[in-house]
Amino acid sequence: MAIQVTVLPNSGFSISLTFHHIVADGRSLHHFIKLWASVCKKTGDSTSPKATLSLPFHDRDKVKDSKGLKLIYLQELELQHPPPEITGYMQDVFTDKVRVTLVLSRERVDQLKKWITHKSISYDSGTQHMSTFVVACSLVWVSMIKLEQRKGDYCVAKGSDELCYFLFLADCRGRPELSFPSTYFGNCLAFCTVAMKKDEVVGENGLIEVANAVEREIRNWKSDPLQNAETSISDYRELLKPGKSLLTIGGSPKLAVYETDFGWGKPKKSESVHLDTFRIVSMSDCRDKDGGMEVGLALEKVRMNDFINILEQQFSKVVCD
């Protein structure tokens, strides 16, 4: 991990961090940052309550590895040309893209939840509770595929029967079968992948079908956190090949990035810088709105305007229906 603090005269400062995913995941990183911040806050204010965060847990010997994943992953990482997402290095920075942080308010998220749940009753009797994460991911993925279809994006395989892939990461801490304590410092993420035909994603009931598919994948992971764990890295490599339509979600509102307080209140802004390089959309809690979400993405300027318009059209459909 590397940390850089940049002082902005008469304005403030920024803290930039980069870290290797072999060592830690987002939850480990943000637990470390919050612990660091709580120590700084206590040092600067003798009246501040004592830090309540526990120290990170580093004992790897406590981790159960019933499937021998350690050896499998080491062998995967020894391949000659691992993709940059696995090595942790950024190879290219695109200058023709703009970065935008979209705010999904709690009111809009609740509207989506109610609409998708209502529509799903007749569509899928097995539908469970639609979470904020599920509806937000569904909205973003549908909008992105519609954008790619509109522009004839080269990353989208031609033909409506071709598959589009959506990948998100699940935190394995707290799973009794894995024995990871909540403060475990390491990478405890499992790959969750949803594959759907392009015409299903962009179809009349696309938002409903996608939400149900994402929710089912979460249920499947909860029933077996290590499903397909032996092939997760090799499967991911396949999805990164040219011609594949893949969108990955990075981060989570549960990381509570805006609850980090060094003694000066909430951060003004939190961003994931690697969005410029990879096909990743970030999600985090919202600084100024309780229950809202911040969605970060990077696209060419014209495509960004189109994406926002498509997103608004999806919301309009929900409100008017």
Question: Which residues does the annotation mark as catalytic?
Answer: 21, 261
Phi/psi at 179 (nearest 5 deg)? 60, 30
- Tell me how far apart the alpha carbons of residues 180 and 270 are, in angstroms, rounded to a whole number: 28
| Strands (DSSP E) found in 19-93 | none
CB-side neighbour CA atoms (13 Å) of 40: 12
> Which class for 10: exposed (0-12), middle (13-18), buried (19 or more C-beta within 10 A)?
exposed
For residues 239-257, one letter each, b for 16 or more C-beta atoms within 10 angstroms of the residue's C-beta and e for the rest, the string is beeeebbbbbbbbbbebeb
Contact call for residues 296 and 271 (beta carbons, < 8 A): yes
How far apart (Å, rounded) are the C-alpha atoms in residues 290 and 132?
Answer: 13
Helices (H), 45-131: 69-77, 84-87, 106-123
What the block records as the tokens of 106 is 């709690």
What are the backbone dihedrals phi and psi of residue 77, each rounded to the nearest 5 degrees, phi first?
-75, -15
Six-digit token string for 71: 């050896």
Q: How far is CA 297 from CA 53, 193, 253, 303, 308, in A?
A: 31, 20, 15, 11, 11
